[in-house]
Amino acid sequence: MGVIPHVIAGAEVTDDVRTGPVFNPATGERIAEVGFADEARVAEAVAAAKAALPGWRGTGLVKRADVFFRLRQLLLERSGELAAIVTREHGKVLADAAGEVSRGLENVEFAAGLVHLLKGEYAEQVSRGVDVHSVKQPVGVVACITPFNFPIMVPLWMTASAIACGNTVVLKPSEKDPSASLFLARLFAEAGLPDGVLNVVHGDKVAVDALLDHPDVKAVSFVGSTPIAKAIYTRASANGKRVQALGGAKNHMVVMPDADLDAAADAAVSASYGAAGERCMAISVLVCVGDATADALIGKITERIARLKIGDGTDPASEMGPLITAEHRAKVAGYVTGAAAEGAKVVVDGTSQAFDGDGFFIGVSLVDGVRPGMKVYDEEIFGPVLSVVRVASYDEAVALINANRFANGTAIFTRDGGTARAFEAEAEVGMVGVNVPIPVPVGAFSFGGWRDSLFGDSHIYGPESIHFYTRSKVVTSRWPDPSESQVNLGFPSNH
């Protein structure tokens, strides 16, 4: 059983005082140890990033882009190997892991267009002999803190844009599945990225706090739960850093009476139970407009649940794998039993499903009669639990969504264009799907929610990431004829 190393200035380091276990969630086997960085180790990584900054910032844009073109090719060639690493440490099925790699690749492709993305603006002769131009410059050393549920996609959401903009990075992945980030760092190096531009440190809160407090870290990107996102935003911004901290979600899927109910049932099962519900964009609340809609959908979803294949993610027949840890499995199960105690009806109880072996498996659950005020509704579960809320009208559905403290994603299923268009305008949520249950934007757009799903004013990846990872500078220049030189104590005027 080996120790998964940090990567600092191109060197792989393993001599930590503290380590933590890495499990295969499908078997419960402890498969590796990962070093936990202390403050000194984090300082080494930040120093390496700071030392590499002038050289990388000074690298020509075309040469920077070449790194991303090569990285794209390496990711394509080795996507199967990377997906296997994700499945082994996270547990999601191989097809889902391959999809994660593909979505991460979109961000590499976006970053490869950096020559265009980093263009400024120019205005000639704004006043006699005066020109003005703007430039985008890197912010400096960036800390990227990523969650366990997407151990390759989310790091690529952050590192691709940050590095393309000329910054250097210290990446702190989840300690639960750290090998994908190590693999990514090796691929970046193979693509020609200079040592120190991307550093990887593993660890727990000690490492995170050290990054938030280090004076040479100028910006922080984070994806995780809402309580931690809020704490990171508060601490890092108090230290004068630019922060984007993406938090949790409670994504509602509204089904209108005129919807294709078979398509809606397929979408609800796929979006709720895929990756064992460990997605911040998973549908966790099914909002049925009318009892007839709810009754029909519950019947169709129950039929589909009975056919789901839950098992080891390496088995091609498996459609859903285990949860990340035994502790998380117990927490998810608690929401289902708690829902029954609060008066909801557990239509399908996945907590009672038995599995062979010591893996962290749990069955899927479907809970009807859920309403605000119940823990199963109010809190992010991050597991394969779908709650059904019954409402009488479209307006009641929208009011329910807009009253929720989370506002990451939402969706509506309907055949009516007017209803869909109204929903786009009236749902106060960062990402909206119309007959699309998981509306994660493609790499050329940006990802992020509102309210308690985002702390900071910038969404992640896409165009907003270029704004976040750069600072704008405006230069006003004048090259007058020496014969026209004169003293003028008045306020500068453009007339």
Per DSSP, the residues of 101-155 read HHHHHHHHHHHTTHHHHT---EEEEEETTEEEEEEEEE-SEEEEE--SSSTTHHH
* The pLDDT value given to residue 170: 98
Distance CA 422, CA 466 (A): 31
Residue with tokens 């040469």: 63
* The pLDDT value given to residue 480: 74
Three-state SS at 116: helix
Whether 477 and 125 have beta carbons less than 8 Å apart is answered as no
* The pLDDT value given to residue 414: 97
Three-state SS at 145: strand
* The pLDDT value given to residue 485: 61
* The pLDDT value given to residue 129: 86
Distance CA 75, CA 62 (A): 20
Residue with tokens 């991303």: 68
Distance CA 149, CA 382 (A): 10
* The pLDDT value given to residue 370: 97
280 is an active site residue = yes
Displacement of CA 488 from its chain's centroid (Å): 54
Whether 33 and 2 have beta carbons less than 8 Å apart is answered as yes
Distance CA 195, CA 96 (A): 32
* The pLDDT value given to residue 479: 85
* The pLDDT value given to residue 1: 66
Q: How many C-beta atoms surround the C-beta of residue 464 within 10 A?
A: 18
* The pLDDT value given to residue 80: 95
Q: For residue range 11-54, list pLDDT tens digits in order.
A: 999 988 899 999 999 999 999 999 999 999 999 999 999 999 99
Which candidate, 299, 385, 303, places its Cα nearest to that of 339? 385
Structure token pair of residue 245:
């901290």
List the chain residues with pLDDT less than 70. 1, 482-488, 490-495
Displacement of CA 305 from its chain's centroid (Å): 27
Out of 144, 165, 280, 288, which one is annotated catalytic?
Answer: 280
Distance CA 203, CA 217 (A): 17
Domains (ranges, CATH) in the chain? 3-247+453-475 (3.40.605.10), 251-434 (3.40.309.10)
* The pLDDT value given to residue 133: 95
pTM of the model: 0.92
